[in-house]
């Protein structure tokens, strides 16, 4: 696989770990001293917070993110990746959209006559950009700094 594809795979694994709220999978993507920086707004970004350290980042994924609702899931999707690689350093810049998927509960007597296809709803709930700086460590690309720039205002628990 090419370095560019390897870097893209790191971001693909990042969004899957986020959707699963998987602390160990998330931690494994970051350098030990890795950092996540969260901003709001594209033209004049406002810093909302930061996390330092692979273990802290993983625990935040598992413990600070809103749990999925019953019959629900999230799907983080990334688009239009721009990847630059110079030796053992790389960057990836990608747009993202997060979809909230919630299935309806099947009625006790089954779906009403005439029901066809998926039963539930899919709503876009977040959008923005990911910009990650990565370093090759022992032959594997790891995230050094992951910057999330959100398009929508965000409320955080306890803030």
In whole angstroms, give the CA distance from residue 50 to residue 121.
Answer: 32
What are the 10-residue block averages of pLDDT along the chain, 159 residues in total?
93 96 97 97 91 96 82 93 97 97 92 91 95 97 98 73
In whole angstroms, give the CA distance from residue 159 to residue 157.
Answer: 6
Domains in the chain with CATH codes: 3-67+81-96+127-150 (3.10.450.50)
The pLDDT value recorded for residue 70 is: 87
């Amino acid at each position: 696989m090419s370095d560019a594809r390897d870097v893209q795979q790191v971001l693909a694994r990042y969004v899957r770990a986020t959707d699963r709220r998987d602390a160990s999978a998330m931690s494994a993507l970051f350098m030990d001293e890795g950092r996540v920086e969260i901003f709001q707004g594209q033209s004049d970004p406002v810093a909302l917070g930061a996390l330092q350290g692979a273990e802290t980042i993983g625990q935040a994924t598992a413990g600070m993110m809103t749990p999925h609702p019953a019959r629900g899931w999230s799907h983080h999707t990334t688009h239009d990746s721009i990847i630059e690689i110079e030796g053992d350093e790389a960057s990836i810049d990608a747009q993202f959209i997060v979809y909230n998927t919630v299935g309806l509960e099947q009625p006790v007597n089954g779906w009403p006559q005439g029901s066809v296809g998926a039963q539930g709803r899919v709503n876009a709930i977040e959008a923005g950009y990911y910009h990650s700086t990565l370093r090759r460590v022992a032959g594997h690309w790891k995230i050094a700094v992951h910057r999330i720039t959100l398009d929508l205002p965000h409320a955080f628990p306890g803030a």
